[in-house]
């Protein structure tokens, strides 16, 4: 299915119910990343990003929650990102979309905690996949087009998938996953926000780009 065709979501969902009789878990995993300079991003890109990474997820999840309310149990899983926990440079639309995901689904968790409905947010850091080449840029309908390299320091797809499965099986509220030192850095910066402000200013944006992408794959005009 094309998740952007939100007007068809109810029909697609009903096909699942007609075939299996019920639904236990909905895993939202569609999405795209981004590489772009903040002030050069056209508003149309922000809208495309939110349509895919936020609104399509909300549409399908709301249909699922209505079903879960009737059967008095269910599990919503959303693939977010460490970018939804802590911002990173040169991906502003993506960062905004992932933070929106956390806001929407943290609210859902609070609303439905007495209805046996679980919400799990999966937050991977850098992982090997094709997401980089397909990333948005600052212009509509354009792809970043630069693939990951085998020498990049990223978590393997298999390891990330295993950790996601563990988080889902144990019905965790939120799961962060990344190789060190990224996972340690995120914990430190989130737990000590006042210190984080000083640390991030000292290290600068290029440091965080290299942590995420191993190397700088786009032209950064200034720090």
Q: Is 94 a catalytic residue?
A: yes
Bridge partners (DSSP) listed for residue 26: 76
How is the chain split among helix, strand and coil, in percent rounded to 5? 50, 10, 35
Half-sphere exposure at residue 190, Cβ-oriented, CA atoms within 13 angstroms? 14
- Of the candidates 12, 94, 104, 192, the residue annotated as catalytic is 94
Angle at the Cα of 26 from the Cα atoms of 135 and 32, rounded to 5 degrees:
5
Helix axes 9-20, 56-71, angle to 10 degrees: 40
Closest CA to 223 of 37, 46, 86, 91: 37
Half-sphere exposure at residue 217, Cβ-oriented, CA atoms within 13 angstroms? 19
The two three-digit tokens of residue 16, written as one number: 């699942």
Helix axes 92-112, 56-71, angle to 10 degrees: 10
Closest CA to 121 of 169, 65, 77, 86: 77
Give the active site residues. 94
């Amino acid at each position: 299915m094309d998740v952007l065709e939100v007007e068809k979501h109810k029909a697609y969902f009903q096909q699942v119910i007609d075939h299996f009789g019920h639904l236990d878990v909905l895993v939202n995993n569609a999405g795209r990343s981004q590489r772009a300079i903040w002030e050069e991003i056209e508003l149309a890109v922000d809208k495309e990003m939110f349509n895919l990474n936020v609104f399509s997820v909300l549409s399908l999840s709301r249909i699922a929650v209505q079903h879960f309310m009737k059967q008095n149990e269910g599990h919503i899983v959303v693939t977010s990102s460490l970018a939804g926990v802590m911002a990173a440079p040169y991906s502003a639309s993506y960062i905004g979309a992932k933070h929106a995901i956390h806001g929407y689904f943290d609210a859902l968790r609070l609303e439905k905690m007495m209805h046996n409905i679980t919400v799990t947010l999966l937050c991977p850091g850098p992982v090997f996949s094709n997401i980089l080449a397909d990333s948005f840029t600052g212009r509509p309908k354009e792809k970043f087009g630069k693939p990951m390299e085998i020498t990049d320091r990223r978590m393997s797809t298999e390891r990330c998938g295993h950790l996601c499965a563990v988080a889902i099986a144990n019905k965790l509220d939120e799961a962060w996953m990344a190789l060190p030192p990224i996972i340690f850095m995120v914990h430190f910066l989130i737990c000590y926000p006042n210190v984080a402000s000083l640390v991030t200013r000292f290290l600068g944006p290029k440091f965080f780009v290299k942590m995420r992408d191993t190397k700088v794959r786009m032209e950064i005009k200034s720090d």
